[in-house]
Each structure stands twice: as C-alpha cells, then as structure tokens.
Amino acid sequence: MQDAAQPPRKAPIRVIVVGMGVRSMIYSSVALTNPELLKIVGVVDVDAKRREYARLTFGLEDEQCFETVEDLVAVPKYADAVINGTMDRLHVSTSIPLLRNGYDMLLEKPFAQNEEEADKLLQCARETGRTVMVCHVLRYAPFYQRLKQVMDSGEIGHVINIHMAAQVNYFHESVSFVRGKYASSEICGSGMLLTKCSHDLDLMAWLMGNNHPQRIASVGSMYQFVPEHAPAGAGSHCLLNCPVERDCPYSARRLYIENPQRWADNVWYDSNCAPPETDEQKEQLLSSIDNPYSRCVYRCSTDIVDHQSVLLHYKDGATGTFSMTGGASVSARSVHVIGTRGEIYGTFETGRFTISHIAPGAPNGRVQHMIDVAAEQEGRHHGGGDREVVLDFIAHLRGDPTSPGKTLLEDSVCGHRIVFLAEKSRLSNGAMQEW
C-alpha cells in the first residue's frame, strides 16, 4: 500500500511516435532513460525498417505498428499523445486528424509551411481543445533562458536593436541543404529560412516578447553552390567523373568517408541503409549515380537559398536584423542586443554572453560582466533543449510546473509568421511586407 503521506504516483505519459526519423528518435529516447515519465506505445511510419526499429527498441506488438496516420485513427484512441516527426510538408495534414482523434501533440518544427496552413492548424487545436507544443528546442537551452531573463529584467533598458546571426557549417550545409532532402522545397515542403532558421526567428520573437514586428523585408539567393563556382574541370559526380575531387572541400569521399564529422550518418540514413561497416562499402554507395550524395555540390540545381538577411521594424520603433549564411567554416549562432542602458553580446556555442552597462565614470565608459552557462550545455543536443522540450511537454500534460518558455502553438506563431513574410519579401525582390 502506498504511504498516505506521499502524493499518488503519476502514470507515465503514453505516446505514439508518428514518423520515426532522426528527430523523433531523439525525443522518444526519453522513454528509455525515464520510463517512469514516458512510455512509447505505438509507431506510425511508411518505412517498414523504421517501424521494425521502433518495435524492437520500445517492445511494441505488431498491432501497435501502423503504416499511415489513417491506419492509426481508424482504431480507438489508446494513448495520451503523439510525437509528430514527419517531414515538414506533412506536418499539418498528419496533425489535424490526430488532434481530431483526441491526441495531444509534440510537433516538430516548422509546424506549417505557410500562413494558410498555420491558421488551419491553430484553428483545429482551438476547436478540439488539444495541446500542441512545437519543438523549438533552443528556447530551453540555458544560454537563451538566461538571455531572456536579462532582457525581461530591464537590465539593459528598452531594446533599440536586436541582431541575430546563424552560420551553417559547410558539411552540414552540403549534407542537408545542397545534396540532401532539404535542398528542394518540392521534397521537404519549405525553404532554408523555415527549415533551418525557424529556430532563430522563433527565438527573436520570444526574446522581444509582445513587441511584435510591424514591417518586414528580406533578400537572399543561392550564391555559392552554383555551376559557375565549381572548380575548373569538375565533373557531375565526385567518385565517378571528377578529376579534381581530391582538391575539393566538398568531395563526398573526403566528407563522408575520410572525415565523416557529425552529419555523415544522415547520408546513410537518408540512403535508406544501415551505416556501412567498411570504407569500401561506403565508396560503393557513393559511386552510385542514383545516390544524391554522390553529386557535385555545384551541380545539384537546388532551389533554396544559401544566404539570406531579414530586416524587422517593431511596433515601438525598435529594429531587428537576422542573417543566415551557409557554407561557413564553423556553425555558430550569435546575438547582439543594444538597449537604452546597455547591451548584450554572445554566442550560443560558447555558452557565454557579456552584458555591458553604460557608466560614464568607469574606465572606457562602461562596466561589464559575463554570464557563463557553458558547463550546463556541454555535450548536450541543442544545449539540452532536445530533452527539455519533451520533459516540459510531459509536465504540461501531467499538470506539473512548466518552463516559462513553453512552446505552445499559440506562442510559436509569431516566429513562423516572420518567416512567411520574409519569404514573401524575398520573392518580391525585397519589398517591405506589412504585418
């Protein structure tokens, strides 16, 4: 019998994973580390290998494995919630029937491809009364949590300008956004700003609070990964017909075999195969003309941008800028906020930001101190945000205390709308768009 002095023990949240991709695997791993909080009780995926992986990993029965969302909603509701990690273009079409079937949802970003889809999803969530939380995981990173606290405290006064920048390193850029499935809006359903930088523009909207933008403009293009920038004599496929492959930093052999770095696993995963055990097997796969990762990065005919800048004018007169640059030597997210009483500058990867206060009597006319959360973020995906967003979702469903940065759908709309208007501006040669 349970001790009467102790509160009743809460059952774990029962979740069905829809789309057993890389992101869903990260989120659902909480069920393995904390089974008292989360239990995976089903999987939906069109790929039989991924369904089998989930079945074995989480001890599922055959009747808990579904090929489509239609198959799942055809049976009576038997879980508390779903983790929706489908491809971007499927988010709304898969979410709506699940919400109407009574499931709460943790939904991968971006939650919609355009404003019409966003409105449709928001309306459905309101009508059904279901919870939708969006995986804007960086809100949960200690760096941005502390930054938000400082800005909200008024320590630097009223914000005059906020600038944020995202650098996408060259091997991530080439794997995901040039050779990979996110290189084509037709395949993934969205462009670079929405796919990669909805994190950043959500952060900007969250940091600025209720001070929404009133006007937005944006410019950008595909600049680097085009045929005219290919090395002289370059072929169409690295390992098939390229005499300059050994000198190219984007050689498939150099990136995915000799120096695999972090993103090479995506190559094998998206090639629908287990990671090859030998270099010879990897080379064989990359020698196939049908493998998109064998192509020359300069001849992929991608239709998304590799750099873009966004300009925002806020309702109180403040301004904001955001820039994304792909193909950089190192990944980095930086932020610089200038207020009426001081400023903040830092980078997410270092886990540190410096606060400078206006001080006429001090040396150099300022006083500074540093906030350092590097130790809290070290070695953790997105600074720990991948795990924390799941824990916050669980806490919300259980009625436990939640994060002040909780990413409910209603609180995530602003960042997405910035993206939609920025893309509309870019496609209109930078014309200013009204909020």
Inside any domain, residue 6:
no
> What CATH number corresponds to the domain at position 76?
3.40.50.720
HEC per residue, 6-39:
CCCCCCCEEEEEECCCHHHHHHHCHHHHCCCCEE
Answer yes or no: are the C-beta atoms of 124 and 409 closer than 8 Å. Answer: no
The answer to whether the beta carbons of residues 314 and 337 sit under 8 Å apart is no
Average pLDDT for residues 171-185, to the nearest whole number?
Answer: 88
Q: Is the domain of 268 the same as that of 325?
A: no
Residues 95, 183: one domain? no
Residues 125, 18 within the same domain: yes
Q: What whole-number distance in Å separates Cα of residue 4 and Cα of residue 42?
A: 34
The pLDDT of residue 136: 96
Q: Encode 116-147: b = buried (16+ Cβ within 10 Å), e = exposed.
A: ebbebbbebbeebebbbbbbbbbbbbbbbbbb
DSSP 356: E
Domain boundary among 134, 159, 183: 134
Among 134, 166, 182, identify where a domain stops: 134
Tokens 């075999």 sit on residue = 257
pLDDT digits (tens, 9 = 90+) for 15-67: 999 999 889 999 999 999 999 999 999 999 999 999 999 999 999 999 999 99
Which residue, 299, 319, 340, sits at the end of a domain?
299
| C-beta of residue 333 within 8 angstroms of C-beta of residue 319 | no
The DSSP result for 128-194, as a single string, is HT--EEE--GGGGSHHHHHHHHHHHHTTT-SEEEEEEEEEEEHHHIIIIIISSGGG-HHHHSS-HHH
* Same domain flag for 88 and 159: no
pLDDT digits (tens, 9 = 90+) for 323-349: 999 999 999 999 999 999 999 999 999
Q: What is the pLDDT of residues 348-396, one digit of tens each?
A: 999 999 999 999 999 889 999 999 999 999 888 888 999 999 999 999 9
In a shared domain, residues 212 and 321:
yes
pLDDT at position 1: 41
Predicted confidence (pLDDT) per residue in 109-156, tens digit: 999 999 999 999 999 999 999 999 999 999 999 999 999 999 999 999
The token duo for 417 is 């709308």
The CATH number of whichever domain residue 425 belongs to comes to 3.30.360.10
Interatomic CA distance for residues 282 and 274, integer angstroms: 11
Q: For residue 245, give its domain range.
A: 227-299
Identify the sign of the CA torsion 348, 408, 115, 130. positive
Whole-prediction pTM: 0.91
Alpha-carbon torsion 371, 376, 380, 386, what sign?
negative
Whether residues 123 and 233 fall in one domain: no
What whole-number percentage of the chain has pLDDT above 70?
97
Q: What is the pLDDT of residue 148?
A: 97
- Model confidence at 164: pLDDT above 90: yes
